[in-house]
Amino acid sequence: MSKVQANSFGGIRTRREFLYRTAAIGGLGLTMATMNAWGMSEPSRADRPPELTGSGKGKKVLILGAGLAGMTAAYELGKLGYECQLIEARSFAGGRCQTARRGFELTELGGEKQVCQFDEGEYINHGPWRIPYNHRSTLHYTREFGVPLEVFINDNDAAYVYHEKTAGALSGKRLRQGEIKADMRGHVAELLAKGVQTGKLDEQLTEEDKVLLLDYLANEGYLSKGDLKYLGTGGRGYKVNPGAGVNPGPGTPSDPLGFKALLGSKLGKIYKSVNSFTQQATMFQPVGGMDQIAKAFAKRVGKSIRYNTEVLAIRQNKQVVSAQIKDSATGKISLVEADFCLCTIPLSVLRNIDTDFSAPFKEAIAAVAYEPTGKIGIQMKRRFWEEDDAIYGGHIRTNFKGIGSISLPSNHWQGQKGTLLGYYNFMADAVEVSAMSPAQRAEFATAAGEKIFPQYRENVEKTFSVAWHRVKYNMGGWADWSVESRKNAYPVLLEAEGRVYLAGEHMSYLTGWMAGAIESSWQQMAKLHARALVA
């Protein structure tokens, strides 16, 4: 420590005084480092909130938006004694973490009012709808709040693939995903095995290596041990399934798809040998709908939420930050003040709010695009995909423009009715479909579905759709960062703008996921707390 610094710390009697001097000399970064050294603060971690110590009593935090990021901050900061007030434009908490069930209402910008008419117990998660096992921050709260989970079937070999107007003999054919996987792996394994056997890979492999590799390929590709040919496998399905007695007895094996036909169709691209970080074969969902997570948060911080209240303007000085707000029911305009503000409003909406942010901060907010995206839930009279086609969960893969995947429910197995996801579209496709009325969207989805399932149209009962880029308080599904905006705008927005901190899925590398909102909130509230301790 330099002589000047040593003199600066003379006469300090408390940690609070020491942190104040630290901040004066080295800024927030040095303060955070000091807190870490004392065990008072920890950086945001993926599996639990930072372990913060010190009191926030006497400090007020204004939280704009009662989505998962806002409620996470209110819940954790409340433990430290902060007085938190949440301002929420909607009549309910959760932000995009929504579930459409009977009575749920939605009116898109320029659109007609939709009221969900699903039967009791039926629903669609039209916002986030699945949780990866490695999003431990989300699972931290489902565990802490006792929100029961069930398995979400994200990859099902029994589900169909249907591509039309493609090259080759497989165009317009309804195929099981397991057929394609088995046959592509088998054919490729055979090709490689023959290469090893004929000595074409001698330069790379020893004799022992070749024996071991051939053994692996024969096992992986279900190749015959003698001539290493791929002749199919029971895993791809049977023409006639095995059963009791002599007929059907062992069953009749199915014929594998031709290698050239598979290559030409490009259907082999529907699978990867290893799942991605956020997409696994089995994932999780809350029992009863994704909004159960939002409701669990609201149960704990709901008394601090002011609903049906829009933010009109944000102002601040060296002492306080204030927001001009409007009661959407009465039209009354008022002012709320606090020591600090955590703003979780999507950047697509925040850029249109009157603020006194600096020009660079405003430019950074404006630099972030948002993904147009849409979904439709369709309640069916009966679960024909289970009864007739033996498909339990998973996605029907299509190349239909504006449809993408048709996703089958992972709940109420073997029930009478079921609600599936009729399309999940993005970008230009989402914009095009969103221009349709709800009835037109329903017909668009039905016409696509009946190409794959002849039973589709006759079973359609009720539908509910959303185009997130036309939802007033979202204006997009999630932040769509470009390489340039990540490099230039993201670092700017991570830092406080005066007494205002930003949080939300957009302030993470997990955009669109609940974990992004939660972990962003953890990070920003830790910064806010460190500053509040020395303010």
- The predicted structure's pLDDT at residue 428: 97
AA identity, residue 385: W
Cβ atoms of residues 340 and 318 within 8 Å: no
- The pLDDT, as a whole number, for residue 41 is 45
Calculate the average pLDDT of the chain. 90
**Per-residue pLDDT at 12:** 54
Q: Are 343 and 499 in contact (CB under 8 A)?
A: no
Contacts of 307 (CB under 8 A, 6+ apart): 66, 88, 90, 91, 92, 93
- Residues of each domain in the chain carrying CATH 3.90.660.10: 100-159+280-291+370-470
Record: fold of 12-93+300-367+480-534: FAD/NAD(P)-binding domain (3.50.50)
Question: How far are the Cα atoms of 108, 189, 204, 211, 264 from residue 195, in angstroms, in the given order?
Answer: 58, 10, 12, 13, 22
The DSSP element (H or E) to which 310 belongs, if any, is strand 309-316
Rg (CA), the chain: 28
Question: Under 8 Å CB-to-CB from 210, ≥6 apart: which residues?
Answer: 196, 197, 201
For residue 249, pLDDT beyond 80: no
CA distance 10 to 169: 84
pTM comes to 0.86
- What is residue 139's three-state secondary structure? helix
pLDDT digits (tens, 9 = 90+) for 365-401: 999 999 999 999 999 999 999 999 999 999 999 999 9
Both structure tokens of 422: 């009729």
Q: How many whole angstroms separate alpha carbon 159 and alpha carbon 409?
A: 12
CB 333 within 8 A of CB 324: yes
The pLDDT, as a whole number, for residue 243 is 67
Q: Does domain 176-270 have CATH number 3.40.50.300?
A: no
- DSSP classification of residue 158: T
Nearest by Cα to 76 from 52, 40, 92, 45: 52
Q: How confident is the model at residue 151 (pLDDT cuts 50, 70, 90)?
A: very high
What are 58's two structure tokens?
A: 């006497």
Q: What is the residue-wise DSSP string for 83-113? A: EEEEE-SSSSSBTT---EETT-EEE-TTS-E
Residue-level pLDDT at 226: 84
**Percent of residues, the chain, with pLDDT higher than 70:** 90
Taken as a whole, the chain contains a residue count of: 535
**Given a cut of 50, is residue 5 above it in pLDDT?**
no
Region label for 204, one of left (φ > 0), alpha (ψ between -120 and 50) or beta (otherwise) = alpha
Q: Per-residue pLDDT for 197 more than 90?
A: no
pLDDT tens sequence across 217-243: 888 888 988 888 998 888 787 888 776
In this prediction, residues 480-493 reach a mean pLDDT of 96
Supply the pLDDT for residue 277.
80
pLDDT tens-digit map of 104-144:
999 999 999 999 999 999 999 999 999 999 999 999 999 99
Choose between 107 and 270: higher pLDDT.
Answer: 107
- With contact defined as beta carbons under 8 Å apart, do 513 and 135 qualify? yes
Q: From the DSSP assignment, how many helices (H) and strands (E) are in the chain?
A: 17, 26
In the chain, CATH 3.50.50.60 covers 12-93+300-367+480-534
- Give the model confidence (pLDDT) of 313-363 as tens digits: 999 999 999 999 999 999 999 999 999 999 999 999 999 999 999 999 999
4 pLDDT tier (thresholds 50, 70, 90): very low
Range with top average pLDDT, 10-14, 162-166, 270-274, 435-439: 435-439
> What is residue 20's three-state secondary structure?
helix
Whose CA is closest to 442, among 418, 464, 466? Answer: 464
Query: Could you name the CATH architecture of 100-159+280-291+370-470?
Result: Alpha-Beta Complex (3.90)
Q: Tens digit of pLDDT for each residue in 48-86? A: 999 999 999 999 999 999 999 999 999 999 999 999 999
Q: Is the dihedral of CA 275, 100, 444, 438 positive or negative?
A: negative
Q: What is the pLDDT at residue 11?
A: 52
Query: Is a pLDDT exceeding 70 seen at residue 246?
Result: no
For residue 101, pLDDT beyond 50: yes
pLDDT in tens, 432-477: 999 999 999 999 999 999 999 999 999 999 999 999 999 999 999 9
Residue 100's nearest CA partner among 81, 78, 122 is 122
Q: What is the SS3 assignment for 321-349?
A: EEEEEEECCCCCEEEEEECEEEECCCHHH
